[in-house]
Amino acid sequence: MSRAPATFYEFFAGGGMARLGLGDDWRCAFANDFDPVKAATYRANFADAADHLHVGDVWKLSAADLAGRADLAWASSPCQDFSLAGARAGLAGGRSSAFFGFWRLMQALGAEHRAPRIIVIENVGGLLTSHGGADFAALGEALASQGYSFGALEIDAAAFLPQSRPRVFVIATREPAPAHLVGDSPFRTRAVHAAAAHLPPALATRWIDWRLPAPPPRNTDLAALLEDPADVAWHSAERTAAWLSMMSPLHLTRLETLKDRGVAVVGAVFRRMRIEDGQRVQRAEVRFDGVAGCLRTPRGGSSRQVIVSVEGQRVRTRLLTPREAARLMGLPDSYALPKAATNALHVAGDGVAVPVVRWLARELLEPLLDGPAAMAAE
């Protein structure tokens, strides 16, 4: 960018993955997270953390804690109440209500004429459908009340990384959207279209169809990100057999087909609860398409993923390592993870995929900040 570095506030910052995705052309003026493990990870990876990281409840912050006027406020608020795996409590839920702690600060900044030029809210796909779309409309009403127009994109990290991780990004601006940033996008999914179509007429006038092109084809698969087989701990034969015993006939058939072909391939296994003949059954589901399932925290519904290796008739299983989880989020190997595996997996599984943020910043956020200057240069 030709302009000076843009400034941003990062709420629910976790290990700073949004900051990494924004890159060196952005300067963090403020970061906040409640989790001490995530905060310690943030400090370990950013030398200037002491200057701007505030650890604690977002509800205990005030506008005075936020320096200057930021170009961007990024909020990856807790998503459990929007997740399909949760109770779908919506914006009234105990965890996702943390969003309103963030929003209270945005209102206070607006009253001081310091409202960020852009707000990005990142969450799970349930944000679009929670309570029949009423929660998404409530979010839109909150944004509109502070002078923002907004649109949403649903981006799967699998377009950038070998991990299936769809997330919704709501991008709001207080300034007119330049024409070159409005149009069609592969990330305006059916769910995004439906959410927009169900907005009340007065709110629909605030809607923006953001244009975000697709990235180049991904050139890495799951196998490319895994550690050397000799450097990891494999399950015993008995434990591998236990994992295989949880597979449905369909998934076992996939596995047996690969064994019969004599190929060497790795896949990702994750646990799900399924209803079969009216009974809840825990199943181990495997995919061999070179993509891992969505990473979750160790406390998540599918818990820690398992790697399965098929080498002819030989089948082995093991746990996904913390470093592999970090790579699946786009974190470099230089990124310092917590020493405890559970903590490291919690930081990685509860973050935002770094390359997704970088693409969004390069193709939409930075041109949006440049505004008319960017159009004149075309």
Task: Spell out the alpha helix ranges (H) of the chain.
Answer: 17-22, 36-45, 49-52, 98-111, 126-129, 134-145, 190-197, 201-204, 222-225, 237-245, 249-261, 322-328, 341-349, 354-360, 366-370, 372-377
- CA angle, 316 as apex, 303 and 225 as ends, to 5°? 65
SS3 call for 310? strand
Sheet hosting strand 306-311, strand order edge to edge:
279-287, 264-276, 306-311, 314-319
- CA angle, 335 as apex, 332 and 339 as ends, to 5°? 130
Catalytic site residue from 31, 75, 79, 170? 79
Structure tokens at 199: 């907005």
Which whole-number Å values give the CA distances from 37 to 33, 42, 49, 250, 351, in the listed order?
A: 10, 9, 14, 40, 13
Is residue 132 left, alpha or beta, with left meaning phi > 0 and alpha meaning psi from -120 to 50?
left
Structure tokens at 234: 């494999």
Catalytic site includes residue 28: no
CB 65 within 8 A of CB 104: no
22-52 exposure pattern, b = at least 16 Cβ within 10 A, e = fewer: beeebbbbbbbbbbebbbbbbbebbeebeeb
188/153 Cα distance (integer angstroms): 5
191/210 Cα distance (integer angstroms): 15
Write out the catalytic residue numbers.
79
